[in-house]
């Protein structure tokens, strides 16, 4: 895909963002940095992908993580002065931030490649503060938000609901940041002790943990209710950090490049990636890396029992589930009813036909399926875009965790186990397979104990996490009381 520039149109040399639904004005990177959906309900996409030529890839091979991050992100965030962007990247991707390696890997690699056997690798994305891959993008987001707010003189109150990984990753990214406060709802007593302790032990005055007497859906309903009150939202400058945020997706593109260069010796080679998937944010970044010219053969989407994505890649039918249909599994961060970033891929698949995307998501937004099984587009999903898929379940997870331990002496977490299970089915003889490690086993110890009969190793300094003092509010699922709490504590 060419990166056209037209000499008579100076705007064409800048990166602009358009909506997947085609009815919102173009934006620049910093315009969409703090936002979620575009005005027409669609998702932001680059008007064209930057292209990396063979010569570019040759120049990038040998770069360290920070240099790669700048090479990639300067193409997407070209309205941030280069020196500023470089400083933000250098501050984010340090071995001090991504220090929690327990495998013996070198933290200076930021995302070390761990070789199980020749041609089969794990890309360690979970050595950040909360031991899940979401830290890779969220830590940058924290620094970008602080930078943008300082430039505009604004402040921001982040309001969200979490059942685990996203909320803690957001809190560790935003803690202590000037101009930012975080109000994070979680279902009281329903998260693991480790995840609860990780969040509630934060003592930073700009972090507010709210344990809601109810289930996760009650928390999410309250976020929706506050978001729908536009007057309140504007008055208290309420924002979110959900997985459709473009800056998060673009920051995730970087480690596909890093993984590719680590697993190969020349840019003539191809690799495949297997990605434990939920909201399709992680693997969407892989798709974007491939569109930019990275030699990726297959992108293998691995799901757990919540197999809405696997079903699409097998059958061409995308059937979002109701929340009541969503199963609670032992890889909980992949328990989704629909995949919020999937619209970005379908936009590309249709040749960026926004009328078609509007028609399809007109159905999806009403909870109805769409069916591409009879469309020539469906054949292109695999042939042109390289997608494959597979699914896993609790029994697979446990047996794959045992296999990794026995054959390679490597403990893995439940989400990574879903990925490895599918990767072993999809692996080809001559193409290196890289499985993305999306969390450390210490985060999901119950299933590790079930599989391996022992507690997983914790990173240094986290041994006594559960005994640290905790700071949180317990509240009812009451929107009026919630708004009053935010009003009293907003920045
Ligand atoms: C969020 C998460 C996933 C799913 O990633 P998506 O970008 O939503 O597809 C997988 N594994 C872990 C551990 C996660 O936290």
Name the β-bridge partners of 434: 121, 273
Determine if ligand 1 sits within 6 Å of the CB of residue 243: yes
Determine if ligand 1 sits within 6 Å of the CB of residue 188: no
- Ligand 1 centroid distance, CA of 278 (Å): 6
Mean of all residue pLDDT scores within the chain:
94
Helix (H, G, I), strand (E, B), or coil: what is residue 191? coil
Helix (H, G, I), strand (E, B), or coil: what is residue 369? coil
Among 168, 276, 336, residue to substitute to test ligand 1 (most atoms within 8 Å of Cβ): 276
Q: Which atom of ligand 1 is nearest to the CA of 134?
A: 15
Looking at residue 272, what is its pLDDT?
98
The helix (run of H) or strand (run of E) holding residue 117 is strand 113-117
Determine if ligand 1 sits within 6 Å of the CB of residue 179: no
C-beta of residue 405 within 8 angstroms of C-beta of residue 452: yes
Which residues have C-beta within 8 Å of that of residue 143, sequence separation ≥ 6?
88, 91, 92, 177
Which residues have C-beta within 8 Å of that of residue 155, sequence separation ≥ 6?
149, 179, 180, 181, 237, 491
What are the distances in angstroms from CA 256 to CA 141, 295, 296, 436? 18, 10, 9, 9
Determine if ligand 1 sits within 6 Å of the CB of residue 171: no
Asked if pLDDT for residue 185 goes beyond 50, the answer is: yes
Q: What stretches of 153-267 show up as alpha helix (H) in DSSP?
A: 165-174, 193-200, 216-228, 230-235, 246-263
Is 27 in the active site? no
- Ligand 1 centroid distance, CA of 397 (Å): 16
Determine if ligand 1 sits within 6 Å of the CB of residue 19: no
Res. 164 pLDDT band, cuts 50 70 90 = confident
Least confident of 11-20, 314-323, 392-401: 11-20
Asked if pLDDT for residue 49 goes beyond 50, the answer is: yes
pLDDT in tens, 329-344: 999 999 988 898 999 9
Q: Tell the residue nearest (CA) to atom 8 of ligand 1.
A: 279
- Mean pLDDT computed over 315-342: 91
pLDDT in tens, 419-450: 999 999 999 999 999 999 999 999 999 999 99
Tokens representing 421? 């299970």
Name the β-bridge partners of 123: 113, 436
Looking at residue 216, what is its pLDDT?
84
Res. 175 pLDDT band, cuts 50 70 90 = very high
Calpha distance 140→468 (Å, rounded): 27
Give me the torsion for CA of 472, 475, 479, 483, rounded to 10°.
-40
| Residue 430 half-sphere exposure toward CB, CA atoms < 13 A | 3
Residue/partner pairs of 147-152 with CB below 8 Å, 24 or more apart: 147/80, 147/84, 147/88, 148/30, 148/33, 148/34, 149/178, 149/179, 149/180, 150/178, 150/179
Q: Which atom of ligand 1 is nearest to the CA of 281?
A: 7
Helix (H, G, I), strand (E, B), or coil: what is residue 300? strand
Closest CA to 137 of 4, 263, 265, 252: 252
Looking at residue 11, what is its pLDDT?
40
Looking at residue 243, what is its pLDDT?
85
Helix (H, G, I), strand (E, B), or coil: what is residue 156? strand
Which residues have C-beta within 8 Å of that of residue 384, sequence separation ≥ 6?
none
- Mean pLDDT computed over 169-188: 96
Looking at residue 8, what is its pLDDT?
43
Q: How many CB atoms lie within 10 A of CB 99?
A: 14
Res. 325 pLDDT band, cuts 50 70 90 = confident
Res. 163 pLDDT band, cuts 50 70 90 = confident
- Ligand 1 centroid distance, CA of 307 (Å): 14
Q: Which atom of ligand 1 is nearest to the CA of 283?
A: 9
- Ligand 1 centroid distance, CA of 368 (Å): 24
- Mean pLDDT computed over 44-68: 97
Q: What is the CATH number of domain 108-130+246-452?
A: 3.40.50.1100
C-beta of residue 440 within 8 angstroms of C-beta of residue 131: yes
Determine if ligand 1 sits within 6 Å of the CB of residue 250: no
- Ligand 1 centroid distance, CA of 268 (Å): 30
Looking at residue 326, what is its pLDDT?
87
The angle formed by the CA atoms of residues 33, 35 and 37, to the nearest 5 degrees, is 130
Looking at residue 6, what is its pLDDT?
40
Calpha distance 221→7 (Å, rounded): 50
- Ligand 1 centroid distance, CA of 489 (Å): 31
Determine if ligand 1 sits within 6 Å of the CB of residue 339: no
The helix (run of H) or strand (run of E) holding residue 238 is strand 238-239
Looking at residue 2, what is its pLDDT?
39
What one-character DSSP code corresponds to residue 279? S
Asked if pLDDT for residue 10 goes beyond 70, the answer is: no
Asked if pLDDT for residue 76 goes beyond 90, the answer is: yes
Asked if pLDDT for residue 271 goes beyond 90, the answer is: yes
Name the β-bridge partners of 156: 180
Which residues have C-beta within 8 Å of that of residue 383, sequence separation ≥ 6?
none
Closest CA to 256 of 234, 235, 276, 272: 272
Among 165, 167, 242, residue to substitute to test ligand 1 (most atoms within 8 Å of Cβ): 165
Looking at residue 5, what is its pLDDT?
41
Q: Which atom of ligand 1 is nearest to the CA of 415?
A: 11
Determine if ligand 1 sits within 6 Å of the CB of residue 17: no
- Mean pLDDT computed over 386-395: 98
Res. 4 pLDDT band, cuts 50 70 90 = very low
Q: pLDDT > 70: what percent of the chain?
A: 98
Asked if pLDDT for residue 1 goes beyond 70, the answer is: no
pLDDT in tens, 457-490: 999 999 999 999 999 999 999 999 999 999 999 9
Determine if ligand 1 sits within 6 Å of the CB of residue 169: no
Task: Tell me which of 27, 134, 421, 443 is the catalytic residue.
Answer: 134
C-beta of residue 419 within 8 angstroms of C-beta of residue 275: yes
Determine if ligand 1 sits within 6 Å of the CB of residue 132: yes
Tokens representing 362? 């007109």
Q: How many CB atoms lie within 10 A of CB 23?
A: 14
Among 244, 330, 333, residue to substitute to test ligand 1 (most atoms within 8 Å of Cβ): 333
Calpha distance 344→346 (Å, rounded): 6
Least confident of 44-53, 213-222, 357-366, 379-388: 213-222
Asked if pLDDT for residue 165 goes beyond 50, the answer is: yes
Give me the torsion for CA of 123, 128, 133, 138, rounded to 10°.
-140
Go through the chain and tell me how many residues it has.
491
C-beta of residue 184 within 8 angstroms of C-beta of residue 239: no
pLDDT in tens, 218-233: 898 899 898 889 899 9
C-beta of residue 137 within 8 angstroms of C-beta of residue 200: no
Res. 9 pLDDT band, cuts 50 70 90 = very low
Determine if ligand 1 sits within 6 Å of the CB of residue 306: no
Res. 289 pLDDT band, cuts 50 70 90 = very high
- Ligand 1 centroid distance, CA of 2 (Å): 31
Q: Which atom of ligand 1 is nearest to the CA of 276?
A: 10
- Ligand 1 centroid distance, CA of 376 (Å): 30
Determine if ligand 1 sits within 6 Å of the CB of residue 438: yes
- Mean pLDDT computed over 240-255: 94
Total H helices, total E strands in the chain: 19, 15
Tokens representing 458? 């914790």
- Ligand 1 centroid distance, CA of 277 (Å): 6
């Amino acid at each position: 895909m060419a990166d056209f520039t037209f000499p008579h149109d100076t705007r064409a040399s800048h990166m602009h963002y358009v909506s997947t639904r085609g009815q919102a004005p173009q934006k620049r990177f910093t315009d969409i940095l703090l936002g979620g959906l575009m005005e027409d309900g669609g998702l932001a996409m680059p008007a064209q992908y930057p292209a990396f030529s063979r010569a570019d890839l040759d120049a990038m091979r040998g770069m360290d993580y920070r240099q790669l991050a700048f090479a990639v992100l300067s193409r997407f965030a070209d309205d941030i002065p280069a020196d500023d962007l470089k400083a933000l990247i250098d501050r984010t991707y340090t071995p001090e931030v991504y220090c929690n390696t327990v495998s013996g890997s070198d933290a200076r690699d930021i995302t070390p490649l761990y070789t199980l056997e020749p041609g089969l690798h794990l890309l360690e994305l979970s050595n950040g503060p909360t031991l899940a891959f979401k830290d890779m993008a969220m830590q940058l987001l924290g620094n970008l938000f602080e930078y943008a707010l300082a430039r505009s003189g604004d402040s921001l109150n982040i309001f969200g609901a979490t059942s685990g990984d996203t909320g803690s990753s957001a809190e560790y990214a935003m803690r202590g940041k000037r101009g930012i406060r975080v109000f994070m709802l979680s279902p009281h007593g329903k998260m693991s002790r480790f995840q609860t302790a990780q969040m509630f032990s934060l003592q930073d005055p700009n972090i507010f943990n709210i344990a809601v007497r109810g289930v996760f859906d009650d928390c999410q309903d309250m976020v929706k209710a506050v978001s729908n009150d536009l007057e309140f939202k504007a008055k208290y400058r309420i924002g979110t950090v959900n997985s459709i945020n473009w800056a998060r997706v673009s920051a995730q593109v970087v480690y596909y490049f890093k993984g590719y260069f680590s697993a190969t010796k020349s840019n003539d080679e191809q690799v495949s990636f297997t990605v434990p998937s939920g909201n399709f944010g992680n693997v969407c970044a892989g798709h974007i890396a491939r569109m930019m010219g990275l030699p990726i053969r297959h992108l293998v989407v691995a799901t757990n029992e919540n197999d809405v994505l696997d079903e699409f890649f097998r059958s061409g039918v995308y059937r979002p589930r109701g929340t009541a249909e969503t199963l609670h599994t032992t890889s909980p961060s992949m328990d989704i009813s629909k995949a919020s970033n999937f619209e970005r891929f379908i936009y590309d698949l249709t040749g960026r036909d926004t009328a078609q995307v509007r028609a399809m998501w007109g159905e999806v937004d009403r909870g109805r399926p769409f069916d591409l099984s009879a469309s020539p587009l469906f054949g292109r999903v695999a042939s042109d875009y390289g997608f494959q898929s597979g699914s896993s379940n609790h029994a697979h997870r446990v047996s794959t965790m045992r296999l990794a331990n026995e054959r390679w002496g490597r403990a893995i977490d439940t989400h990574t186990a879903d990925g490895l299970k599918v990767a072993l089915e999809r692996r080809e003889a001559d193409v290196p397979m890289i499985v993305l490690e999306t969390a450390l086993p210490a985060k999901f110890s119950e299933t590790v104990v079930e599989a391996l009969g022992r507690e997983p190793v914790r990173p240094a300094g986290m041994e006594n996490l559960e005994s640290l003092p905790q700071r949180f509010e317990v509240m009812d699922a009451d929107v009026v009381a919630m708004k009053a709490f935010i009003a009293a504590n907003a920045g």
